[in-house]
Amino acid sequence: MSVNRSYAVFGLGRYGRAVARELVESGAEVLAVDIDENLVNESIADIPYCKCADVTDAEVIRRLGIANVDVVIIAMATNLEASVMATMLCKEIGVKTVITKCASEMNCRILSKVGADRVVFPENESGIRLAKNLLSSGFVDIVELSKDVSMIELEIRPEWVGKSLIELKLRQKYGINVAAVLEGDSVCVNIDPNRPLESFMRLIVIANPARLGKMK
């Protein structure tokens, strides 16, 4: 599962702290960094590995061992220059996935051009929701319907390719109710349960994310 990946969160404002805390509570390895010592001290009770450092400095990035981190979340939307520098430095040292919080459409375009793999608007995606998406292997997006039930966009697992929904028995095994099949921009709600799934498809399902995380 994605909980086994390592994460770094740059910026411990409300959004960054929510992401880091949710990841920590789920058992993930998280390094949180902020240049403001007060924010670091306030966060350390919830996030054990907190550092006060300037992530726009290449030497600092090297000393923190960010090259060994799987996913970096840059939550410094109010400081575009710092976000740009941190994004570029992370990509230069080989971080596979850099997710950057942005404050405007223009900022998103800039951050994408300098290497951000994904940009997020805090108004549209909460820190907790982002963390849950990161922790849920194979989940593209999650919308909580209740405490235990979510609507989830799910990638087709390699072992599902060529098999039909009837063969897979997703409802019986994992409590997954398939609501729609996505093929590019096409959404099909009249699902043929006998049609073999293909790798480019995605499923919209209603399920308990905790049960999905235990899929084998």
Contact between 135 and 28 under an 8 Å Cβ cutoff? The reply is yes
Where, residue-wise, is CATH 3.30.70.1450 in the chain?
A: 139-212
Average pLDDT, the chain: 84
Q: How far is it, in rounded angstroms, from Cα 99 to Cα 154?
A: 20
How does strand 177-183 pair with strand 29-34? unpaired
Where, residue-wise, is CATH 3.40.50.720 in the chain?
A: 2-127
Name the residue with higher pLDDT: 42 or 147. Answer: 42
Contact between 83 and 74 under an 8 Å Cβ cutoff? The reply is yes
46-62 per-residue burial string, b: 16 or more CB within 10 A, e: under 16: ebeebbebebbeeebbe
Q: How far is it, in rounded angstroms, from Cα 74 to Cα 97?
A: 11
Topology classification of domain 2-127: Rossmann fold (3.40.50)
By C-alpha distance, which of 149, 128, 126, 151 is closest to 140?
A: 151
pLDDT surpasses 90 at 2: no
- The structure tokens 């949180």 sit at 32
- C-alpha distance from residue 79 to each of 76, 136, 174, 194 (Å): 6, 29, 43, 52
- CATH number at 139-212: 3.30.70.1450
Q: How far is it, in rounded angstroms, from Cα 128 to Cα 143?
A: 11
Name the residue with higher pLDDT: 173 or 167. Answer: 167
Q: How far is it, in rounded angstroms, from Cα 117 to Cα 99?
A: 6
Query: Is residue 105 very low, low, confident or very high in pLDDT (cuts 50, 70, 90)?
Result: confident
pLDDT surpasses 50 at 148: yes
Average pLDDT over residues 171-189: 82
Average pLDDT over residues 107-128: 76
| pTM for the structure as a whole | 0.63
